[in-house]
């Protein structure tokens, strides 16, 4: 029996675990000396030590113990880096679809966003999208994301058009604010128009927000604190608390500057950045709207309250360890999405059990659960979800 059974569940966050050399066939030759395996896999010792040729030559799906589908993590997970094994993994997981993200390029994209080499940034974006589309081509339940930098208005529109033509089902933008303009700048209107016309969502993902906290916060005179993986360069409890700041600021600018008002069919997803912050953020935006309404024409032109745009157009994934029932009760039925984070360790071994316990404690109804597991994802993905996958609901 699949891990997810008894209802239709769409997974709003799943990953490829790339291996060294994965970008070579997708990145133009002149950039390969810059974007090397040493750059993309800086921890080849320790955490990446098992990425050997022998490990990558394993028997794959034929030798995998099906009972370990939610226990094996990262590169040990079925279908994590061998695309031919991914259909078997999604069969065992039981999800109707998975919105797919990179792992290796998430943090590197923020390095590019803070640099001045526009050619390199958009070249890596093209390579990212080609890589994602190629991997996901083995099964239409796998929905590839394309990466769209926000450094240059014309190039951004061109990158979005190319990603859509290549087959991306969602357009991932950084939540880090560009150095010289807001993500809500009117120069990005062609990007929003392209996505809305194509019926595809714009998504943020953790890793796209740049540096969350100053280094000084981690110099407390005590020994270093390990992260989820036992290392020292992933999230710990203190920088986890800042994980929502970049998408919160970016989405506030997009709402207040009326991007969602002017593009009412455009959907936004905030992925793997938690959701406990969302109820207070919605209420704070409404408070700001009330406080500054008399002085700001942009607020006077808004056809809805800020929180109402969130309910209409923004979808967010809670972590399994959060109180998802409370979040749903305080944001509205439309906002929250299920996600597994497969095959990352952070997703846990039984996210459905944890989500169910929280929702049952809060008295969340079956109709509300249907929206969480299925309907809100279908609404987010729009034309990015094949008709037969939409019909599965």
Task: Determine how many CB atoms are found less than 10 A away from the CB of residue 152.
Answer: 17
DSSP 18-69: --TTTTTTTS-GGGTTTS-HHHH-TTTTGGGTT--HHHHTS-GGGG--GGGT
**Whole-number pLDDT of residue 235:** 67
Q: Give residue limits of the domains in the chain.
A: 10-50+65-213+231-391
What are the mean pLDDT values of the chain's consecutive 10-residue runs (393 residues total)?
A: 94 97 94 91 56 50 88 95 97 98 88 85 97 98 97 97 98 94 98 98 92 82 74 70 94 98 98 98 98 97 98 98 98 98 94 98 98 98 94 57
**Whole-number pLDDT of residue 231:** 46
What crossing angle do the helices spanning 104-113 and 118-136 adopt, rounded to 10°? 160
As a three-state string, the secondary structure of 123-171 is: HHHHHHHHHHHHHHCCCCCEEEEEECCCCCHHHHHHHHHHHHHHCCCEE
**Whole-number pLDDT of residue 62:** 75
CATH architecture of residue range(s) 10-50+65-213+231-391: Alpha-Beta Barrel (3.20)
Residues 6+ apart with CB under 8 A from 294: none
Instruction: Determine the Cα–Cα distance for residues 204 and 148; give it in Å rounded to an integer.
Output: 11
Q: What is the pTM of this model?
A: 0.94
Instruction: Determine the Cα–Cα distance for residues 101 and 105; give it in Å rounded to an integer.
Output: 9
Query: What is the SS3 assignment for 217?
Result: helix
Among the listed residues 328, 203, 186, the one whose alpha carbon sits nearest the alpha carbon of residue 266: 203
Instruction: Determine the Cα–Cα distance for residues 252 and 246; give it in Å rounded to an integer.
Output: 10
Give CA 186 to chain center in angstroms: 24
Instruction: Determine the Cα–Cα distance for residues 164 and 8; give it in Å rounded to an integer.
Output: 27
Would you mind telling me the total number of residues written for the chain in this entry? 393
Query: What is the SS3 assignment for 205?
Result: strand
Residues 6+ apart with CB under 8 A from 186: none
Residues 6+ apart with CB under 8 A from 315: 12, 201, 267, 268, 269, 270, 334, 335, 336, 337, 376, 377, 379, 380
| Alpha-carbon radius of gyration of the chain | 20
């Amino acid at each position: 029996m699949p891990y997810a059974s008894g209802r239709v569940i769409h997974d709003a966050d799943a990953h490829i675990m790339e291996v060294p050399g994965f970008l070579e066939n997708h990145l133009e030759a002149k950039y390969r000396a810059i974007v090397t395996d040493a750059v993309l896999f800086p921890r080849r010792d320790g955490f990446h030590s098992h990425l050997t040729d022998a490990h990558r030559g394993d028997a794959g799906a034929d030798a995998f113990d099906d009972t370990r589908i939610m226990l094996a993590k990262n590169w040990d997970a079925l279908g994590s880096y061998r695309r031919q094994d991914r259909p078997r993994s999604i069969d065992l997981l039981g999800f109707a679809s998975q919105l797919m993200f990179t792992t290796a390029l998430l943090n590197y994209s923020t390095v590019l966003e803070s640099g001045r080499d526009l050619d390199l940034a958009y070249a890596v974006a093209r390579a990212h999208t080609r890589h994602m589309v190629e991997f996901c081509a083995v099964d239409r339940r796998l929905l590839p994301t394309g990466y769209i930098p926000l450094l240059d208005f014309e190039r951004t529109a061109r990158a979005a058009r190319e990603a859509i033509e290549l087959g991306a089902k969602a357009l991932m933008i950084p939540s880090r604010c560009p150095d010289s303009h807001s993500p809500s700048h009117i120069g990005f209107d062609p990007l929003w128009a392209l996505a809305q016309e194509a019926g595809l969502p714009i998504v943020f993902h953790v890793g796209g927000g740049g540096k969350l906290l100053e280094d000084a916060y981690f110099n407390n005179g005590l020994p270093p604190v390990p992260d989820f993986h036992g290392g020292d360069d992933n999230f710990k409890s203190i920088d986890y608390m800042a994980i929502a700041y970049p998408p919160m600021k970016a989405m506030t600018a997009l709402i207040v500057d009326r991007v969602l008002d002017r593009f009412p069919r455009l959907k936004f997803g905030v992925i793997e950045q938690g959701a406990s912050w969302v109820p207070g953020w919605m209420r704070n935006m409404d408070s700001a709207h009330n406080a500054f309404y008399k002085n700001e024409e942009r607020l006077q032109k808004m056809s809805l309250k800020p929180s109402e745009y969130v309910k209409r157009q923004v979808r967010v994934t809670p972590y399994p360890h959060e109180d998802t029932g409370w979040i749903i009760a305080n944001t509205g039925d439309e906002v929250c999405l299920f996600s597994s984070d497969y095959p990352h360790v952070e997703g846990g071994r039984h996210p459905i059990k944890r989500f169910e316990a929280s929702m049952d404690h809060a008295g969340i109804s079956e109709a509300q659960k249907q929206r969480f597991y299925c309907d809100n994802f279908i609404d987010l993905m729009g034309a990015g979800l094949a008709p037969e996958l939409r019909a599965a609901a």
